[in-house]
């Protein structure tokens, strides 16, 4: 049996026994490997550790239970967890929010949104009382609104201008590096996502970084793929400058709002600076602002 078949069989075993929460030793024994060897082989082929794979399965099951308005204690029990504390830790680690917050999904929260345009196209911007929570470029207005609904399904959405949106518009018109407190943001994400999104603010305007360099900058040099995923989930375009990250081997890389728009942003910023763009951005003091998990 080659490694691919070993990992595939291990995945089947974990799925079949997820409610029993099998530990590393149990799954490794089923695969007829030492725990150390099995951990290395599984992570190499699956891209995540056996523990993380089990956590994703458990979280998916717990989400389905919570969607039925079941109590947190019962959800923990039927998901194979020893109590609500483990359920709470699981959600915080992977989703960046508590089980209760997930179940409410923005309930009793009012979000005001507005449509506007800038040099990079039309965008929808939305804010909670804590700050900007959503800024997406769009081609179709209804699809853009649906994206906001998916992100905050139970929130009350009101199309209404507010002073924050005027600040965003001014930011596009008289652009400067985002400074602490300049525009408050309301972010929800995992601790890892928040770390990546904040690290993007270390990249000065007119400069570029790579996924590998960014991963090294947050102390996770082997996590380039995970960094790329976190960048792809950035909910606030341009203000959090994910467009400044490119592939280290060449190429512009993917962009949530289109590679052409990404190239336009990079070119526009480069034109504002006389020095040529450098391939890597130096580390600097990390701005902190309105973080919410």
> Looking at the annotation, which residues are catalytic?
242
3-class secondary-structure state, position 126:
strand
Q: What is the DSSP letter of 244?
A: G
CB distance 197 to 289 below 8 Å:
no
CB distance 243 to 232 below 8 Å:
no
The span from the CA of 225 to the CA of 215, in Å, is 9
The vertex-86 CA angle with 83 and 90, nearest 5°, equals: 140
In angstroms and rounded to an integer, the radius of gyration of the C-alpha atoms of the chain is 21
- Residue holding tokens 């929800």? 188
CB distance 206 to 277 below 8 Å:
yes
Among candidate residues 136, 116, 139, the one with its CA nearest the CA of residue 237: 136
């Amino acid at each position: 049996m080659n490694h691919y078949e070993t990992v595939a069989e291990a995945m089947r075993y974990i799925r079949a026994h997820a409610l029993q929460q099998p530990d590393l030793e149990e799954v490794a024994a089923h695969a007829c490997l030492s725990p150390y060897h099995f951990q290395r082989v599984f992570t190499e082929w699956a891209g995540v550790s056996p523990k993380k794979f089990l956590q994703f399965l458990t979280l998916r099951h717990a989400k389905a239970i919570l969607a039925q308005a079941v109590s947190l204690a019962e959800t923990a029990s039927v998901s194979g967890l020893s109590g609500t504390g483990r359920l709470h830790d699981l959600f915080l680690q992977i989703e960046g929010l508590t089980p209760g917050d997930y179940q409410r999904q923005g309930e009793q929260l009012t979000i005001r949104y507005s449509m506007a345009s800038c040099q990079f196209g039309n965008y929808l911007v939305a804010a909670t009382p804590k700050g900007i929570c959503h800024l997406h470029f769009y081609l179709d207005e209804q699809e853009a609104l649906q994206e906001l609904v998916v992100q905050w399904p139970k929130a009350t959405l009101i199309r209404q201008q507010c002073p924050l949106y005027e600040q965003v518009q001014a930011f596009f018109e008289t652009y400067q590096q985002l400074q602490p407190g300049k525009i408050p943001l309301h972010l929800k994400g995992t601790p890892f996502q928040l770390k990546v999104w904040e690290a993007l603010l270390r990249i000065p305007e007119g400069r570029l970084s790579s996924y590998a360099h960014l991963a090294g900058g947050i102390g996770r040099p082997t996590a380039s793929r995970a960094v790329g995923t976190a960048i792809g989930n950035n909910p606030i375009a341009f203000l959090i400058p994910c467009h400044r990250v490119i592939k280290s081997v060449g190429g512009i890389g993917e962009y949530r709002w289109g590679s052409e728009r990404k190239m336009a942003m990079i070119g526009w910023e480069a034109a504002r600076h006389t020095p040529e763009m450098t391939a890597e951005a130096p580390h600097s003091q990390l701005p902190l602002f309105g973080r919410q998990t």
